[in-house]
Chains A and B, each alone.
Chain A
Amino acid sequence: MMTAIHTEHLTKRYGSVVAVRDLNLVVEEGEVFGILGPNGSGKTTTILMLLGLTEPSEGRVSVLGRDPVREPLAIKRRVGYLPDTVGFYEDLTGRENLRYTAALNGLPPRQREAKIEELLATMGLTDAADRPVRTYSRGMKQRLGLADVLLKEPELVILDEPTLGLDPQAAHEFLSMIRQLKGQGMTVILSSHLLHQVQAICDRVGLFKKGEMALVGSVQELAQRVLGGAYRIRLRVIGNIPTERLQKLPGVSRVHRSGEVVTVEAERDLRPELVRAIVEADGDLLEVGLEETTLDEVYRTYYGEVSDDAA
Chain B
Amino acid sequence: MTRREGSAFTGMRVVFFKELADLLSGSRMRFLEALVVLTALGTAYAAIQNIKNTVGEDPFLFLRLFTTAKDPLPSFVAFLGFLVPLLAIALGFDAVNGEFQRRTLGRILSQPIYRDVLLFGKFLAGLTTLAMVLTATWLFVTGLGILLTGLAPSGEEVARSLIYLVAAVAYGGVWLALSMLFSTLFKNPATSALATIAVWLFFTVFWGMIAGLLAPALSPVRYGFPDEVLRQAQVELALSRISPTTLYAEATLAILRPEVRALGPVLPLQLQGMVLGTPLPLSQSLLLIWPQFSGLIAASVILFVLAYVIFQRQEIRA
B5 at interface, CB cutoff 8 A: yes
Q: Which of chain A's residues has its CB closest to B104's CB?
A: A87
User: Closest approach, in angstroms, between the C-beta of B256 and any C-beta of chain A?
Assistant: 39
User: Closest approach, in angstroms, between the C-beta of A274 and any C-beta of chain B?
Assistant: 52
Contacts of A165 in B (CB 8 A): none
CA distance A54 to B315 in the complex (A): 6
User: Closest approach, in angstroms, between the C-beta of A156 and any C-beta of chain B?
Assistant: 12
A194 at interface, CB cutoff 8 A: no
| Contact indicator A89/B104 (Cβ below 8 Å) | yes
| Contact indicator B317/A44 (Cβ below 8 Å) | yes
A121 at interface, CB cutoff 8 A: no
CA distance A248 to B14 in the complex (A): 70
Task: Take A76-B112, A100-B14 as given contacts and tell me if A86 and B2 are in contact as well, using a CB distance cutoff of 8 Å.
Answer: no
| Contact indicator A83/B106 (Cβ below 8 Å) | yes
Task: Take A86-B103, A104-B14 as given contacts and tell me if A70 and B112 are in contact as well, using a CB distance cutoff of 8 Å.
Answer: no
Q: Which of chain A's residues has its CB closest to B105's CB?
A: A87
CA distance A11 to B183 in the complex (A): 30
User: Closest approach, in angstroms, between the C-beta of B246 and any C-beta of chain A?
Assistant: 38
| Contact indicator A90/B110 (Cβ below 8 Å) | no
| Contact indicator A104/B108 (Cβ below 8 Å) | yes
| Contact indicator A76/B103 (Cβ below 8 Å) | no
Which residues in window 95-128 of B have CB below 8 A to A? 102-104, 106-114
Q: Which of chain A's residues has its CB closest to B27's CB?
A: A91
| Contact indicator A89/B316 (Cβ below 8 Å) | no
A238 at interface, CB cutoff 8 A: no
Q: Which of chain A's residues has its CB closest to B313's CB?
A: A55
User: Closest approach, in angstroms, between the C-beta of B184 and any C-beta of chain A?
Assistant: 16
B42 at interface, CB cutoff 8 A: no
A51 CB contact (under 8 Å) in B25, B104, B110, B114? B110
Task: Take A74-B6, A77-B112 as given contacts and tell me if A53 and B316 are in contact as well, using a CB distance cutoff of 8 Å.
Answer: yes
Classify the secondary structure of B's interface with A.
Answer: loop
B106 CB contact (under 8 Å) in A81, A100, A104? A81
Q: Which of chain A's residues has its CB closest to B318's CB?
A: A85
B50 at interface, CB cutoff 8 A: no
A101 CB contact (under 8 Å) in B111, B315, B316? B111
Binary contact track A172-207/B, C-beta < 8 Å → 1, others 0: 000000000000000000000000000000000000
User: Closest approach, in angstroms, between the C-beta of A106 and any C-beta of chain B?
Assistant: 8
User: Closest approach, in angstroms, between the C-beta of A123 and any C-beta of chain B?
Assistant: 16
Binary contact track A106-118/B, C-beta < 8 Å → 1, others 0: 1000000000000
Contacts of A103 in B (CB 8 A): 11, 14, 18
Contacts of A81 in B (CB 8 A): 106-107, 110
Contacts of B10 in A (CB 8 A): 73, 106
| Contact indicator B106/A74 (Cβ below 8 Å) | no
Task: Take A48-B316, A70-B2 as given contacts and tell me if A104 and B113 are in contact as well, using a CB distance cutoff of 8 Å.
Answer: yes
A73 CB contact (under 8 Å) in B14, B107, B114, B316? B114
B222 at interface, CB cutoff 8 A: no
Which residues in window 273-298 of B have CB below 8 A to A? none
CA distance A44 to B5 in the complex (A): 27
A61 at interface, CB cutoff 8 A: no
CA distance A44 to B317 in the complex (A): 10
B3 at interface, CB cutoff 8 A: yes
| Contact indicator A90/B102 (Cβ below 8 Å) | yes
Which residues in window 67-96 of A have CB below 8 A to B? 69-74, 76-77, 79-81, 83, 85-91
Binary contact track B5-21/A, C-beta < 8 Å → 1, others 0: 11000110011001000
A148 at interface, CB cutoff 8 A: yes
Q: List 25 A-B residue pairs with CB atoms under 8 Å apart, sorted by A's residue number.
A: A44-B317, A51-B110, A53-B106, A53-B109, A54-B316, A73-B6, A73-B10, A73-B114, A74-B6, A76-B112, A81-B106, A81-B107, A83-B110, A85-B103, A88-B107, A91-B22, A103-B14, A104-B11, A104-B14, A104-B108, A105-B111, A105-B112, A106-B11, A106-B112, A148-B107
Q: What would 8 more interface pairs be, CB under 8 Å, given A54-B315, A73-B5, A73-B114?
A: A48-B316, A73-B112, A76-B111, A81-B110, A87-B107, A88-B107, A90-B102, A104-B111
Query: A-contacting residues of B (Cβ < 8 Å)?
Result: 2-3, 5-6, 10-11, 14-15, 18, 22, 25-26, 102-104, 106-114, 315-317
